[in-house]
Each structure stands twice: as structure tokens, then as C-alpha cells.
Amino acid sequence: MNRRPADNRRRIAIPASGFTLIEVLAALVIVALGMLGAIEAVTQQARGGVYLRDKTLAHWIAMNVVTEHRLQAAPPPVAESSDDVEFAGQRWHWTMRVSQTQVQSLRRMDVTVRPAESADDVELATVSGFYGSAIGPAGSGAVAWNGGQGGAPSADEEEPPDRHRKKPPRGQPPGESVPPTIPPQEEE
């Protein structure tokens, strides 16, 4: 009898090491979902950055429109006006509404700005400013906001006390006054 010595031994089953196909697929699904969440967060940040950039540019345009009208010699007419402007490589549309305030020599300007291609009800920035035409004489703190001449108060008006005016030093005649000074501000 010829027996082989290897046939008589029992075969011992050694468990296979590694992952099964189902475990690998489950891990890939989990990683893919995590990556989708990370990509969505990055996309949201990018959109937020673009929105803030556009909002800042729109605010600058509105401030420019208000400043241009403040520098004019005549007050803007009480009306609504609009225009398109090219700024930072984009087209923008601004609208300005001028209204009369209760003070005769003061007008309010409300400027709204939006991208030119967006809908009319979309506003990225709104800035309000005022145009005042009351002018006081040089060296006087009094301004006639009611449309009259500025300057010294009339005889029936009492001049408000000037709390920043120094008393004349000793030896100075009482008719001469010392120019006003601004008190130093306290540091916080």
C-alpha cells in the first residue's frame, strides 16, 4: 500500500484576510457622501464671497452717485433718475429717488444699485444721502436751514452760549474776545 503521507493529514481551513466586495462598496459610499458635503461647503463659501464682493461694489457705486450729486452747484431735482454704469468689469444699474424734506433747503437722495442683468426688484445696495444748500457766512457757526441768510441771530433771537469760548485773560479789554477752542477729548 502506497499511501501518501500528505493525504492522511487533515486540512485546516485558514480564514482569508482582506475585505469583501460589500465592505469595500459600503466604505466607498460613505467616503463619497462625505466628499459631497465638503464640496457643498466649499461651493457655499465661494458663492458667499462672490455675493459680498458684488454687494461691496454696488455700495461703492451708490456712494459715488450720492457724492457726484452732492458736489453739484444746484440741488438735484425732486424726481427719479437712473442710469447704467460699467464698474469692475460688470454692468450695473442705479436708480436715485430725490425727495424734499421738511427743511426747505435740504433734499434726500436714496440710491439703489443692482447688476444690470438682474430683475428690477433685486437690490444689492441702498445708500441714502442729503443735499443741503444752506450756507452760513465765514467764521459763523449759524446756518439758516430755512432758506434765509445764515449768520448772526436777529435781535429777537438769543445767541446760544458758546461753551468752548475762553474768558479773556487778565489785562485784556472786555470788548475783545479770545477765539474759540475745542476742548480735548477724553480717552477711553
Residue showing cell 442710469: 83
Model pLDDT, residue 165: 52
Distances (CA, A) of 39 to 29, 32, 137: 15, 10, 64
pTM above 0.85, yes or no: no
Per residue of the chain (188 residues), give pLDDT as tens: 555 555 556 777 777 678 899 999 999 999 999 999 999 999 999 999 999 999 999 999 999 999 999 999 899 999 999 999 999 999 999 999 999 999 988 999 999 999 999 998 889 999 999 998 877 777 777 776 665 544 444 444 454 555 555 555 565 555 555 555 555 555 54
Query: 58, exposed or middle or buried, with CB in 10 Å at 0-12, 13-18, 19+?
Result: buried
Model pLDDT, residue 5: 57
Model pLDDT, residue 161: 53
Phi/psi at 37 (nearest 5 deg)? -65, -40
CA 82, chain centre distance (Å): 21
Model pLDDT, residue 155: 45
Tell me 183's DSSP state.
P
Distances (CA, A) of 178 to 97, 167, 181, 185: 46, 7, 9, 20
Model pLDDT, residue 186: 56
Rg (CA), the chain: 39
Model pLDDT, residue 96: 97
Residue ranges of the domains in the chain? 21-132
Model pLDDT, residue 154: 46
DSSP string, 34-90: HHHHHHHHHHHHHHHHHHHHHHHHHHHHHHHHHHHHHTSSSPPPSSEEEEEEEETTE
Give the DSSP H/E element, type plus range, for residue 98: strand 90-100
| Amino acid, res. 155 | A
**Topology (CATH) of 21-132:** Pantoate--beta-alanine Ligase; Chain: A,domain 2 (3.30.1300)
